[in-house]
């Protein structure tokens, strides 16, 4: 264990003790479905976005691929997305440096010249009642408004600004294409997705000696419109398709697009918000950066279909319901709460 790692073993000692005591009596008790992911015959769609600027039939075909992947997979990869190699690399190296600060400085928000990160640090799962619910990861969860408000004095803040400026344009462009394909107003995102609600999550998954007994990140769906994810070369991200977990293998220079719950509701179930998770790695640490496209709290999510599957709700209502369910049941229930 490195000195900057969160104290997983000490803090969650009771969960570890209970788990391994039970394991001796029941044999196994590991995350039993982990093996399936590698035996996958499917290839996650890969969309070349350079065709969007060609106009005409190529651009139209590209838009159709984006919509099809969002319907069939709720997950796809993009290349030629407009985020340069340099921007991706800078973001990664600044992120690595930040996570390698002493654990207590990260918790107390006392990282040198990184005051804007204060209060944004998360690690583990405070509500976990068993080892399977413990996320073996740490993250900085930073609203865009925090980033834009700071003067770019440090490497990290300048790099984050640069990164989010360009990724937010990409997120909005993809969202507009998806809106157009279901007959919703493409301008919706420009009008409703304000920077104070969109955020970036920088994650680190330390190497995990007790893998496969814990996840890096538990199975979940994203509570936003869509997420743009950049993962490093280690791997571990998986998505659920037809009841099977499928590995999203790292591919250099690609970004991953994940459809969130709000798009599923707004499209009346046409686009899918699928479960995904991160498997902890025994030997290597892993880094990822996720950008979440979210609307303001009072934005109403309502399908334009004549026979809606979900009742209309505000984003605030959705978030409150998720928080309440997590508190009462230990996990998110999500969109099924809003079914008609």
The residues of the shown chain that bind ligand AKG, judged by CB under 6 A, are 201, 203, 217, 222, 229, 231, 237, 276, 278, 288, 290
**Which of 157, 81, 86 lies closest to 117, judged by CA?**
157
Nearest CB to ligand AKG, comparing residues 247 and 309:
247
Alpha carbons 284 and 250: distance in angstroms, whole number: 14
- Least CB distance from residue 104 to Fe ion, whole Å? 28
Cβ neighbour number for residue 3 with a 10 Å cutoff: 7
Nearest distance in Å: CB 28, ligand AKG: 26
Minimum CB–partner distance for residue 217 and Fe ion (Å) = 7
Query: Taking CB within 5 to 8 Å according to partner kind, which of Fe ion, ligand AKG, none is near residue 229?
Result: ligand AKG
- Does 232 bind Fe ion (CB under 5 A)? Our answer is no
Residue whose pair of structure tokens reads 């930073």 in the numeric block: 142
- Does residue 146 belong to the site contacting Fe ion (CB under 5 A)? no
- Interface pattern 196-225 for Fe ion (x via CB under 5 A): --------------------------x---
Query: Is the separation of the CB atoms in 175 and 226 below 8 Å?
Result: yes
Query: Rounded CA gap, 22 and 16, in Å?
Result: 10
How far apart are the C-alpha atoms of 38 and 20, rounded to whole Å? 27
Residue 98 partner contact from ligand AKG, Fe ion, none using kind-dependent CB cut-offs of 5 to 8 Å: none
- Asked whether position 5 contacts Fe ion by CB under 5 A, the answer is no
Closer of 52 and 88 to ligand AKG (Cβ):
88
The least CB distance from residue 323 to ligand AKG, in Å, is 16
Picked from Fe ion, ligand AKG, none, the partner binding residue 63 (CB below 5 to 8 A depending on kind) is none
Q: What angle do CA 111, 319, 226 make, to 5 degrees?
A: 75
Nearer to ligand AKG, 116 or 287 (CB): 287
C-beta nearest to Fe ion: residue: 222
Whether 132 and 138 have beta carbons less than 8 Å apart is answered as no
What number of chain residues touch Fe ion (CB under 5 A)? 1
Q: Which one, 75 or 116, has the nearer CB to ligand AKG?
A: 75
* Residue 170 touches which member of Fe ion, ligand AKG, none, C-beta under 5-8 Å by kind: none
Q: How far is the CB of 302 from ligand AKG (least distance, A)?
A: 25
144, 195 contact by CB (below 8 A) = yes
State how far the Cα of 202 lies from the Cα of 55, in Å rounded to an integer: 35
Identify the H or E element spanning 287.
strand 286-293
- Helix segments in the chain, DSSP class H: 8-11, 13-26, 56-72, 85-99, 103-108, 144-149, 155-181, 188-192, 261-266, 315-329
> At which residue do the structure tokens 């991160």 appear?
278
Using the minimum distance from each CB to ligand AKG, give the nearer residue, 92 or 276.
276
Shortest distance, CB of residue 138 to ligand AKG, whole angstroms?
A: 12
Whichever of 189 and 292 has its CB closer to Fe ion, that residue is: 292
Task: Give the catalytic positions in this structure.
Answer: 286
| Burial call 293-314: b when 16+ CB within 10 Å, e when fewer | bbbeeebebbbeeeebbbeebb
Q: Which residue has the tokens 């999550």?
A: 201
Which residues in this chain contact Fe ion in the complex, by CB under 5 A? Answer: 222
């Amino acid at each position: 264990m490195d000195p900057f790692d969160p104290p997983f073993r000490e803090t969650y000692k009771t969960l570890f003790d209970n788990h391994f005591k039970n394991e001796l009596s029941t044999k196994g008790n590991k995350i039993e479905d982990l093996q399936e992911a590698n035996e996958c015959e499917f290839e996650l769609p890969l969309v070349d976005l350079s065709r969007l600027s060609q106009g005409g039939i190529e651009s139209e075909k590209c838009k159709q691929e984006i919509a099809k992947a969002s319907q069939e997979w709720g997950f796809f990869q993009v290349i030629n997305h407009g985020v340069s190699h340099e921007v991706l690399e800078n973001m990664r190296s600044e992120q690595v440096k930040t996570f390698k600060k002493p654990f207590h400085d990260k918790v107390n928000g006392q990282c040198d010249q990184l005051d804007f990160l204060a209060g944004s640090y998360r690690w583990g799962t405070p509500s976990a009642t068993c080892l399977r619910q413990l996320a073996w990861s740490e993250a900085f969860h930073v609203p865009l408004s925090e980033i834009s408000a700071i003067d770019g004095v440090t490497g990290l803040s300048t790099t984050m600004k640069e990164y989010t400026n360009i990724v937010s344009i990409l997120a909005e462009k993809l969202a507009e294409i998806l809106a157009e394909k279901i007959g919703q107003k493409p301008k919706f995102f420009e009008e409703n997705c304000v920077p104070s609600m969109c955020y970036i999550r920088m994650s680190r998954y330390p190497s995990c000696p007790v893998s496969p007994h814990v996840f890096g990140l538990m199975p979940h769906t994203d509570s936003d419109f869509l997420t743009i994810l950049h993962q490093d070369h280690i791997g571990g991200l998986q998505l659920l398709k037809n009841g099977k977990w499928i590995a999203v293998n790292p591919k250099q220079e690609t970004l991953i697009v994940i459809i969130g719950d709000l798009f599923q509701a707004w499209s009346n179930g046409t686009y899918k918000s699928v479960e995904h998770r991160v498997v902890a790695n025994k030997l290597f640490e892993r880094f990822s950066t996720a950008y979440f496209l979210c609307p303001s709290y009072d934005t109403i999510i309502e399908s334009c279909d004549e026979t809606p599957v979900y009742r209309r709700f505000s984003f605030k209502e959705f978030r409150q319901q998720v928080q309440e369910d997590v508190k009462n049941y230990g996990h998110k229930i999500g969109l099924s709460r809003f079914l008609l």
